[in-house]
Amino acid sequence: MNQTSSSDATPIAAKLAVKPVGLLEFAKLAGRNMLEVIPAETLSQTYFRGPLNIHYICDPAIITEMLVGSGRAFPKAKFTKDIIGSAVGNGLILSEGEKWKSQRKRYSPLFAARNLPMLAQHFAQTGIEVATSLAEGPGRVDVTQMAPASTLTNISRVIFSGNEEVSAEAIRAGLKSYFEYISSISLFSLMGLPKWIPRKKWLESKKPVTDMRALARQVIEKRREESRPIPLDFLDLMIAALEEDFEDIDTTVDNLLTFVVAGHETSANALAWGYYLLALYPDVQAIIRDEVRMVSPEAPITFEDVQDMKVLRAHIRETLRLYPSAAFFARDAAETLTIKGITFKKGDALFYPVYSLHRNHQLWEYPDEYRADRFLNTTYPRGQFIPFGDGPRVCIGAQYAETEIMVLMASVLRKIEFSLSEVPIPRPVLTFTMRPEGPMILNAKPV
């Protein structure tokens, strides 16, 4: 399959820092777009020493040693906890030590492959609804609105379904406000100032968080009372896990919201970028559509179906290479380590610019080009392709996310054709996740 036959266009890229960034400027820029503080040198070098005690790491061997080997217990960076702690509490994303281990052990079975066929049924229903809506109203579509709407619908179906006291529309409105709140990065948190100094978020009100926490507690308690004998959605699986391994209600709320956060915007971003790339390369879009129709011409797409969609899976992985939702993460060095001749001292900031790693010129052939066939029958060194992280803290829902993205995209592509409009494509920006900077307008029409 020749991935570049239909267009010579290069996918839109982010704007990285081309000159040194001081601490104050770092805080100002990062509050708007974290990508603008990542040195452009990280695209051509696999290790780059930043100012003060910052290390930018794009070397797969060092990354593997840090995430899987001797540095695997290093904690999340303090500023990460300051930024999103109020929204996700002390759930799996931010907890450390024994608390994290017990939660990981408790919830890992929820995301096992045996549960994905049931969850995929919900994803397929959403995909059918999206395809039908686009077919009935062809024309311009903003995929930065369409993609989050579909993943919000999935969350409503697999977590908040059956909640008679609150409508699906109210749930989606509450989730939207909640996501807008946590996507606002605090300048003071990035500068490492004490927690007691007022943040802009505080003045805006924490109502989106308190409302969502109250709703989460309500649906958990109601579902516990129902005690369904056979799990019908994700929340049922979660409640069943807690029957075997008790945890306090506040931690359960933390984890429910953690799964909501991790499962919504990350998948939505991948879908938006994935639709854009298919519009940019219509020949590839046609190949994937033929593959989907060959596997499942009409019926709802199943978990088993997407196992046979090799080209679609390669497209999703190339999308996640070019536009990883988790485009940056950080750890604090808990002890001094020397790896490949580089010494990382205790207290140093370890920055992992995944965006740069996935486009690094020392690691990839044609790194800035879309070539999905690089993921067909090819493996890469560990630490080179990490859209979901690696090591003990690899994303617990990686297979869930990939299944959701594939089922939704297959369901839509089977019926709808996307093409570029005359509206310019926005650059990627990174706040809580990496997303398009503004509306991404594509043309959509029935096939």
Looking at residue 375, its pLDDT comes to: 97
Does residue 1 belong to any structural domain of this protein?
A: no
Residue bearing the bigger pLDDT, 58 or 221: 58
- Cα 158 from Cα 403, distance rounded (Å): 14
Average pLDDT over residues 86-114: 81
Question: Is the pLDDT at 238 greater than 50, yes or no?
Answer: yes
Q: What is the pLDDT of residue 94?
A: 76
With bands split at pLDDT 50, 70 and 90, how would you rate the model's confidence at 226? Answer: confident
Burial of residue 118 (number of CB atoms within 10 Å: 0-12, 13-18, 19+): middle
Alpha helices in 68-206 (DSSP H): 78-88, 97-107, 116-136, 143-158, 168-182, 187-191, 200-204
Average pLDDT over residues 86-110: 80
Percent of the chain, pLDDT > 70? 85
Name the packing angle between helices 168-182 and 207-226 (round to 10°): 140
Retrieve residue 5's tokens: 């036959």
Q: What is the pLDDT of residue 165?
A: 53
pLDDT of residue 202 exceeding 60: no
Q: Specify the higher pLDDT residue, 217 or 386.
A: 386
- In-domain check, residue 16: no
Range in 32-36, 86-90, 345-349, 423-427 with the lowest mean pLDDT? 86-90
**CB–CB of 277/322 below 8 Å?**
yes
Query: Is residue 116 in a domain?
Result: yes
Residue 5: inside a domain: no
Which residues 6+ apart lie within 8 Å of 207 measured at CB? 177
Q: Are 316 and 324 in contact (CB under 8 A)?
A: no
pLDDT at 70: 95
Q: Which of 76-85, 100-109, 208-217 is least confident?
A: 76-85
pLDDT given for residue 156 in this prediction: 81
- Is a pLDDT exceeding 70 seen at residue 204? no
Greater pLDDT, 428 or 239 = 428
Q: Which of 254-268, 349-363, 392-406 has the lowest mean pLDDT?
A: 254-268
pLDDT score, position 187: 44
Residue 61 has pLDDT above 50, yes or no: yes
Residue with the two structure tokens 């519009």: 279
Question: Residue 92 gets which letter from DSSP?
Answer: T
d(CA 369, CA 12): 10
pLDDT, mean over the chain: 86
pLDDT band at residue 365 using 50, 70 and 90 as cut-offs: very high
What tokens appear for 426 in the block?
A: 């926005």
Lowest pLDDT segment from 85-89, 121-125, 436-440 = 85-89
Average pLDDT over residues 197-205: 48
Query: What's the whole-number mean pLDDT along residues 333-348?
Result: 96
What average pLDDT does this structure show over 103-117? Answer: 87
| Residue carrying the six token digits 């040194």 | 20
Residue 364 vs residues 180, 361, 442: alpha-carbon distances, Å: 35, 6, 29
pLDDT tens digits, residue range 266-279?
899 999 999 999 99
Tell me the two tokens of residue 133: 């809506």
Give yes or no for residue 292 having a pLDDT over 50. Answer: yes
83 vs 124, more confident = 124
Q: Does some domain include residue 161?
A: yes
For β-strands 329-332 and 47-49, DSSP reports them as: unpaired
Number of domains in the chain: 1
User: Range with the lowest mean pLDDT among 19-33, 347-361, 365-379?
Assistant: 19-33
- Residue 176 within any structural domain of the chain: yes
| C-alpha–C-alpha distance, residues 209 and 88, integer Å | 9
Would 431 be classed as within a structural domain? yes
CA 30 to CA 54: how far, in whole Å? 15
Long-range contacts of 438-442 (CB under 8 A, 24+ apart): 438/144, 439/142, 439/144, 439/145, 440/142, 440/143, 440/144, 440/272, 440/276, 441/140, 441/141, 441/142, 442/140, 442/141, 442/143, 442/275, 442/276, 442/279, 442/418
- Closest to 352 measured CA to CA, from 13, 47, 101: 47
Confidence check: pLDDT of 58 > 60? yes
User: Phi and psi at residue 351, in whole multiples of 5°?
Assistant: -100, 130
* pTM as predicted: 0.89
The pLDDT, as a whole number, for residue 85 is: 63
pLDDT of 196:
43
Mean pLDDT, residues 237-251: 78
- List Cβ neighbours of 422 (8 Å cut-off, separation of 6 or more): none
Confidence class for position 79, pLDDT limits 50, 70, 90:
low
Q: Is the pLDDT of residue 234 over 90?
A: no
Sign of the CA dihedral running 139, 401, 303, 91 = negative
Q: Give per-residue burial for 283-303: e unless 16+ CB within 10 Å, then b.
A: ebbebbbebbeebbeeeebbb
Question: The domain containing residue 110 runs over which residues?
Answer: 23-446
d(CA 146, CA 148): 6
Q: Provide the CATH number for the domain around residue 403.
A: 1.10.630.10
Of 412, 358, 349, 413, the residue nearest 387 (C-alpha) = 358
Give the CA angle between residues 352, 354, 356 to the nearest 5°: 100
Question: SS3 for 216-260, per residue?
Answer: HHHHHHHHHHHCCCCCCCHHHHHHHHHHHCCCCHHHHHHHHHHHH
Rounded to whole angstroms, the Cα distance separating 53 from 293 reads 53
The answer to whether position 425 is within a domain reads yes
When pLDDT is cut at 50, 70 and 90, the band that residue 239 belongs to is confident
Of 138 and 167, the structure prediction assigns the larger pLDDT to: 138
> Six-digit token pair at 439?
């509306």
- Tokens 């953690």 map to which residue? 258
